[in-house]
Amino acid sequence: MDGAARKTRGGEFGVQQVGRDVAGKDEQGGWGMNTLRVVTREGETIAADGGGRVLDGGAVGGRSGRSSLEWSEVLVEELAARSAELEGAEPGEIIGWAVERYGDALTMATAFGPEGMVILHLLASIAPQTHVFNLDTGYQFPETLELRERVHQRYGIEVEFKRPESTVEQYELQHGGPVYQTDPDRCCFDRKMSMLREAAAGYHAWISAIRRDQSPDRAKAPIVGWDKKFGLVKVNPLVNMTKKDIWKMIVDHEIPYNPLHDQGYTSIGCWPCTRAVMFGEDERAGRWSGRAKTECGLHSLDDSSGAKSEHLA
């Protein structure tokens, strides 16, 4: 069978079996061909293989005719194996694999940090058509927002701004003042994490710019893995790079960067929760300074980090 949705005699869509060369374990535990199910319901075809690739005929529904990617043990096993294989690969090679593997079901979120700018520089030569978005909380620095135009001028990549339904003024009025002062976890969830869920709808994988040496939590990040918070495959092409590696690449290739970095801002987020760091401080010490909070929740590996677990249901 070819994997396309077919109607039964009663006119209802049903389930078909499709043979494909996909990443799946056979009875001997080796990777080989599996027979996969194409599940269809209510006129929508949900046709993903064991590695999450949409089969011939695609999946109707969602962004660009794609359905959401579903978690499975086979998928997680494949990602773990692929991550191990890519452990020693260069960032461009990892990005190239992601582009080949997921095509237009691949997206990237960027805050225009040094690492994000390096990935945009690489994407410009590997796959400039890749969808890229920025989570504009309404609290970003003007210097951060201006980088969007510089990226477009330099690389021809137009980064899409994703914004909450409410403006900052409306949001603060609704909650009786700045939420970042009283409940920064809630603010991050409302103004950032919930937007990522919406922005990533219909995509199967997203590229992030984290490095393992940035924090103890990020030190556990794989090259490729399942992001259970957002129901996506997460690709981390820069995890093995150091801060020195990133800035060498920026200087060598004259990659645009946020001028606030020249003023002591080593990690830049929303202006109310970001300060310049002092000599000898950790590079993320300027984020949510004075609080135990160290992550907005996008990249924390534990549901208890960043946003509260009940917010992530």
Catalytic residues: 296
Contact 246, 115 (CB under 8 A): yes
* Closest residue by Cα to residue 270 from 196, 151, 184: 184
Ramachandran angles phi, psi of 193, nearest 5°: -65, -40
Strand pairing class (160-162; 224-227) = unpaired
Contacts for 97 with CB less than 8 Å, ≥ 6 apart: 82, 86, 89
Contact 185, 308 (CB under 8 A): yes
Ramachandran angles phi, psi of 233, nearest 5°: -80, 130
Contact 180, 139 (CB under 8 A): yes
Distance CA 54, CA 285 (A): 42
Distance CA 127, CA 267 (A): 27
Strand pairing class (160-162; 131-135) = parallel
Contact 111, 135 (CB under 8 A): yes
